[in-house]
Structure 1
Amino acid sequence: MCLVFVCDEDERVIGRQVAGGACPYCGGMVQALDVQSNWRFCFVPLYFKTKRKLYCSICSRRLVPL
């Protein structure tokens, strides 16, 4: 007997805004992205969460606020 669990995470960008400040690596403009995460188990949605992530628009690095 073999059991297979199919789990999937899908991320979708909901909104994009200009954030204040500059990138500490290249000095580029910082963007704030609103990302919605969906966890699914066997194609049944279980969990929805919206997060805000910061990225540089020039070097595309993920920035972590202090």
Structure 2
Amino acid sequence: MSILMICNGEETEIGRQLAGGACPYCGGKVHSVDVRRQWKFCFMPICFKFKRKYFCTYCSRRLVLYFS
């Protein structure tokens, strides 16, 4: 007997806006992107998570904030 589990994750961009500051690598502008992630199990939604990600517009790197 075997059990087949089907899990799927899907990301959707909700909004994009200009963030304050500059990229530490190239000095370009930084955009903040609001993302909704939806996890599905057998095509039924399980949970939603909302995150904010930061990207540079010139070098396209994903930036991570560290708080001290």
In which range does the TM-score fall when normalised by the shorter chain? over 0.9
Unaligned runs of 5+ in 1: none
Unaligned runs of 5+ in 2: none
Aligned position for 1:56: 56
Once residues 7 and 26 of structure 2 are traced to their aligned partners in structure 1, the CA distance between those partners, rounded to angstroms, is 37
Once residues 28 and 35 of structure 1 are traced to their aligned partners in structure 2, the CA distance between those partners, rounded to angstroms, is 22
Structure 1 length-normalised TM: 0.96
Aligned position for 1:7: 7
Once residues 26 and 6 of structure 1 are traced to their aligned partners in structure 2, the CA distance between those partners, rounded to angstroms, is 41
Q: CA RMSD in A?
A: 0.6
Matches within 5 A, 1:25-40: 25-40=25-40
**Identical amino acids, percent of aligned pairs:** 56
Once residues 47 and 61 of structure 2 are traced to their aligned partners in structure 1, the CA distance between those partners, rounded to angstroms, is 27
Structure 2 length-normalised TM: 0.93
Cα deviation, 1:15-52, whole Å, max 9, x if unaligned, reads: 00000000001111000000000000000000001110
